[in-house]
Amino acid sequence: MEAASFSKSLFLDLAVMICILGALGRLVMAQDQSKLTLSYYDKSCPTAQQIVRKEMDCAVRQNPRNAAAILRLHFHDCFVQGCDGSVLLDDTATLIGEKTASQNVNSLIGFDLVDRIKNQLEGECPGVVSCADLLAIAARDAVLLVGGPYWDVPVGRQDAKTANLELANTDIPTPNQNLVTLIAKFIGKGLSTQDLVALIGSHTIGMARCVNFRDRIYGDFVATSQFDLGSKIYLSRLQSICPEIGHDSKISAMDYVSPNVFDNIFYESLLKGEGLLNSDQEMYTSLVGFETADLVKTYAVDPIIFFKHFSDAMVKMGNITNPEGGEVRKNCRFVNT
């Protein structure tokens, strides 16, 4: 068994090394925290975090799905040009935004909530708090408000004056990608395999569209769930929501046990082979998933370790900044004029 495990691990290492050569060409060298501090707004806008928390509290109470919406916006923002608020930009006559990217269009929500928070911040501290910082703080509060961990959010990000639709289409992970590709994308952003598996845990409060899990439920779901009776019932329910043709926008929770609570139940579903997305289940059942499978097992039985690794990974991802700098937008949807 030890020899087999070593061989499996070596194969993964070699596969990842080959796959990431291209990704390294676009590596965002942004784990520099020198410009991000916990005290950035202490004098210029001391109530910034309280304002964000109040608005997020109201929004999550109104609809728990808002927590996942904001967390996902932050993730999609950070994976394109760094955490610079570019995901929030609308298309204009002179700028093409990222909202029509394959993983964003008809999928990302929460923009109106960002607008509400920004309006409150502008009313209190005009031209001070960036939209990128707003997203980073709101994502932390979103997790906390549905039972997840707290972490301190370094702030001081600037908002991009540009967006990059091409990078949004290539760099954001997709639901049907294999493990080697996913690891390569994360390494390309300066994030580790552990960060990948921990951040995937955000799907404990996520919803997925039929178009993104159709291949999974009509593919290897039965095989990975080992023909378990409970899994067959779950699969039948999924197939009733998502037929082989049509109903692309119908949704299902990625954690059907506790979809509105940030916990580690999601990893238990992977152990049972019931991951809704192929990219999620790859963490445990991929033939090259030696390290990732061990992490899934650990997180499934130890929520404290999961919370710690998730918090650390969120700070690390949030520290990916746009080296080109930017501005503090007055309206998160448009660059300043």
Catalytic residues: 76
Picking from 97, 102, 93, 100, the residue whose alpha carbon sits closest to that of residue 84 is 97
Tell me which DSSP letter residue 90 carries. P
Annotated binding site, which residues?
77, 80, 82, 84, 86, 98, 173, 203-204, 255, 263
A 10 A CB-CB count for 35 gives 15
- Strands of 127-244 (E only): list them: 207-209
Annotated binding site for substrate, which residues?
173
Annotated binding site for heme b, which residues?
203
Look at the chain and count its residues: 337
Annotated binding site for Ca(2+), which residues?
77, 80, 82, 84, 86, 98, 204, 255, 263
| Encoded tokens for 18 | 């080959």
Rounded Cα distance, 28 and 324, in Å: 11
* For the chain, the helix, strand and coil percentages under 3-state DSSP, each to the nearest 5: 55, 5, 45
**On the CB side of 60, how many CA atoms lie within 13 Å of its CA?**
25
- Cα radius of gyration (the chain): 20
